[in-house]
Structure 1
Amino acid sequence: MSPPTSRSPLDAAANRSGGPATEQPLISGDTGIYDAARRELHTVRDLLRFAVSQFVEQKLFFGHGSSNAYDEAVYLVLHTLHLPLDHLEPFLDARLTSAERDAVLGIIERRVRERIPAAYLTHQAWLGDYKFYVDKRVIVPRSFIAELLREDLAPWVENPRGVGRVLDLCTGSGCLAILAALSFPHATVDAVDASHDALEVAKKNVRDYGLDDRINLLASDMYESLGAKHYDIIISNPPYVSAKSMGKLPEEYRREPEMALASGDDGLDHVRTLMANATKHLYANGLLIVEVGFNREGVERAFPNIPLVWAETSVGDEVVFIVDRETLAAAH
């Protein structure tokens, strides 16, 4: 199994949930099934089967690193046993100590009973090959902008080494700021968030990647505290869940900070702020890159006079738009 990659946009999750999360059945208070598992299950294979059965029976929602019960079960079992995430087969029939069995069943039980996203249970989230620390102070990283950064934003950025300044608005865990710093080796990155708690998590991730000297963490409500700073590139994966969709989110998403999800009636409050003020902070020919979930139609309806470029990602061309400073300036 490869490390899980979080990719599920939030509005899509809400639309797939089929109704309020409170309608999802929860396992009864009787712990008998877990007591029986502790007595009768002995191997990695046993616990993997048990986890998949529980996840399916209890109708868990997946979207914070894996997309199905099997992949999530494999990830949680291997992680808890400190085994390589890409080497399941050699260990399937290995017998576990009672302490190991208790640890695995404990994390399975928490995932089922409390609907806690797997990333919060393991304190790990992945974007492609890059691992980040996460906890309940930040949204679990999942961004299609990461796919574009993997290609150094080609073809829109012709010379990655020529990029000098990057702004990551709504940085959360700092994952996109870190990926930007890795893509643009000569750039200084300002990573901005309104949440001081989120910036503490970002600080840990920046240190883990040894990028303290290139990434500045700033507390600010969007552009508010940036003064006259200018950038070659502004990237943002802002809150973009509509009020209606917030009411439909599965319980797993309700474990995340609400301020990292909700963005007004139509989910575009933060996007409007991004668009309205970008020209004040972009150099000539600078780029604004924004993720909006599967809401291309809503964005184009909100900004009919701005010709946006929609980037092709693994899920199509509906989730990330790109626009340059000159196009924005001409529309205002």
Structure 2
Amino acid sequence: MSALHAFDDTHELRTLRDWLRFSVSAFNEAELSFGHGSDNAYDEAVYLALHTLHLPLDTLEPFLDAQLTARERQALLDLLRRRVEQRVPAAYLTNEAWLGEFHFYVDERVIVPRSFIAELLRDGLAPWVDDSEQIISVLDMCTGSGCLAILAAHAFPNAEVDAVDLSADALDVAERNVADYGLQDRVRLVQSNLFEALEGERYDIILSNPPYVDAESVDALPQEYLHEPELALGSGADGLDATREILARAADHLHPGGLLIVEIGHNREALEAAYPDLPFTWLQVAAGDEFVFLLRREELLEKY
């Protein structure tokens, strides 16, 4: 029986344990793609069930043998059907995404937050930033939901943060998240095609998680990723169009000693081949040292 038809048999499911087993089986049978908050069927099934039942996301065991009410069963069934039949990412089903302890509202106007730069901000970009309180200006380029701008505002308590995106829809989502954290006085939202609307602005740090998926990979993306804004994914044939523009103009928008930190996905080899004279520093994150680079303003000036 296919995963689609398996939903006809859910009347036999009673406890949360029953529903979790069923969900994992349905997800695996449908060969869902993960990567928008979890990386496997079990973790996603647990998250979706606990969220739908309004239970603490970090507490499962006490509720496993609890029976669901008819209304709860219907709510969970409706959500699971959308996940399997429409391949909607979990974050869009729940309208929430997490980066560490930080929670953000998301919908299909923005890419689901999953930046490695978030890991680096937990420690205030140490050791490349000696004193987080000395940072007074940060730019988050291609802000999307505003997640990195918000994390930067927390990491650098004295900084004013500009959060820039080309998409007005994305900035509407970012505005909601900025307001949720009470940061309207410190995070400025700017609609701009990269640096176009930032004439004369200078920053201590520029962060960016720009579009970086190459054309071949865009064509091969699982259906889940096609729910995300195309503008936030692809960036030319080799995935580096936005990164090239950032590299070309970043030095003009950095203070002396300022840092540029950019996430580029799986494009390290292509980037180093395109810029053999730039002394990229590759930063260590959970997945390795191939995804995020750092350059100082002075290193960029030697090239531009």
TM bracket (short chain): over 0.9
Partner of 1:295: 267
Partner of 1:47: 19
Q: 1:40 and 1:330 mapped to 2: Cα distance?
A: 68
User: Out of 151, 154, 157, which is 2:123 matched to?
Assistant: 151
**Aligned partner of 1:118: which letter?**
A
Partner of 2:51: 79
* Displacement of 1:27: 4.8
Is 1:233 aligned to 2:205, yes or no? yes
Is 1:245 aligned to 2:217, yes or no? yes
Is 1:177 aligned to 2:149, yes or no? yes
* Displacement of 1:207: 0.4
User: Out of 73, 83, 90, which is 1:111 matched to?
Assistant: 83
TM-score scaled by length of structure 1: 0.90
Is 1:34 aligned to 2:2, yes or no? no
1:277-325 CA-partner distances (Å, limit 9, x unpaired)? 0111000000000000122111111111110100011111100000000
Partner of 2:230: 258
Is 1:281 aligned to 2:253, yes or no? yes
Matched residue count = 303
Q: 1:300 and 1:35 mapped to 2: Cα distance?
A: 53
Q: 1:147 and 1:282 mapped to 2: Cα distance?
A: 22
Q: 1:34 and 1:70 mapped to 2: Cα distance?
A: 18
**Aligned partner of 1:261: which letter?**
L
- Within-5 A mapping of 1:116-127: 116-127=88-99
- Report the secondary structure of 2:23's partner residue: helix
Q: 1:169 and 1:96 mapped to 2: Cα distance?
A: 45
More RCO (CA 8 Å, sep 6+)? 1
1:82-107 CA-partner distances (Å, limit 9, x unpaired)? 00011100000001110001111111
1:37-61 CA-partner distances (Å, limit 9, x unpaired)? 1x21111001001100000000000
Q: 2:102 and 2:206 mapped to 1: Cα distance?
A: 21
Q: 1:36 and 1:248 mapped to 2: Cα distance?
A: 33
Is 1:216 aligned to 2:188, yes or no? yes
Partner of 2:288: 316
* Displacement of 1:35: 3.1
Superposition CA RMSD, Å = 0.9
User: Out of 127, 133, 148, which is 1:161 matched to?
Assistant: 133
Partner of 1:187: 159
Task: Quote the sequence identity (%).
Answer: 60
2:49, 2:76 within 8 Å by CA — same for their partners in 1?
A: yes
**Aligned partner of 1:155: which letter?**
P
- Report the secondary structure of 1:51's partner residue: helix
TM-score scaled by length of structure 2: 0.98
Q: 2:33 and 2:8 mapped to 1: Cα distance?
A: 25
Is 1:204 aligned to 2:179, yes or no? no
Q: 1:331 and 1:99 mapped to 2: Cα distance?
A: 62
Q: 2:71 and 2:303 mapped to 1: Cα distance?
A: 63
* Stretches of structure 1 lacking an aligned partner (at least 5 in a row): 1-25
